[in-house]
Structure formats: structure tokens, C-alpha cells
């Protein structure tokens, strides 16, 4: 296993992590922005008003995109295990 192989594996792992985290983070960001705007307009400052909608949005994203996320993770892991003999020099 060369240094280039290790860097390639690390870059691929970071890209997969980014792909898996992006839908959850984007949904949380959008819901947080909408709730913050609502709180600014109504001057209603309630902690649960920010937490519960974000939690619901993350749950919906996991229900909708969970299958795709799992497929991405399994595909990366399968590709990594397929490369093991080549990486060990065999």
C-alpha cells in the first residue's frame, strides 16, 4: 500500500461522509432559518420551537433518503473490501 493509495482512500471516505451528511445538514439549516425568521417576526423565543421542527425534518430526511444513504455507504465499503488484495500487494 503506497502513500497515494492511503490518500485516495482518505479522500473517498471524506467524500462519502460529505454525501451522507449533506441532506441532514441542509434540511436542518433550512428549517432552522425558517424557524428563526418566524421567531424574529413574532418575537416568540422558545427553545422547543427551534428543536422540535429540526428533529422532525431530520427524521423525514432519514426516512426519505435513508435507503440511498445506506446504499452509498455499502457501495463504498464493498469497493474498499474489493481493493484489499490489491492494496496488500497480492
Rounded Cα–Cα distance for residues 63 and 82 (Å): 29
pLDDT tens figures, 33-72: 999 999 888 888 877 788 899 999 999 999 999 999 999 9
Integer CA distances (angstroms), 38 to 16, 24, 32, in order: 34, 21, 10
Rounded Cα–Cα distance for residues 60 and 52 (Å): 12
| Number of structural domains in the chain | 1
The domain of 31 spans 3-87
- pTM score, two decimals? 0.79
**Mean pLDDT calculated for residue range 7-24:** 95
Q: Work out the angle at residue 35's Cα, subtended by the Cα atoms of residues 29 and 38, and round it to the nearest 5 degrees.
A: 145
Rounded Cα–Cα distance for residues 76 and 17 (Å): 10
Residue 77 has pLDDT above 80, yes or no: yes
Rounded Cα–Cα distance for residues 65 and 22 (Å): 11
Amino acid at each position: 500500500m503506497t502513500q497515494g493509495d492511503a490518500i485516495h482512500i482518505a479522500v473517498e471516505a471524506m467524500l462519502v461522509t460529505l454525501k451522507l451528511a449533506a441532506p441532514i445538514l441542509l434540511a436542518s439549516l433550512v428549517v432552522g432559518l425558517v424557524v428563526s425568521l418566524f421567531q424574529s417576526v413574532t418575537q416568540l423565543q422558545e427553545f422547543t420551537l427551534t428543536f422540535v421542527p429540526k428533529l422532525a425534518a431530520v427524521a423525514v430526511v432519514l426516512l426519505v433518503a435513508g435507503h440511498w444513504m445506506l446504499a452509498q455507504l455499502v457501495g463504498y465499503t464493498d469497493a474498499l473490501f474489493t481493493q484489499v488484495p490489491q492494496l496488500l500487494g497480492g
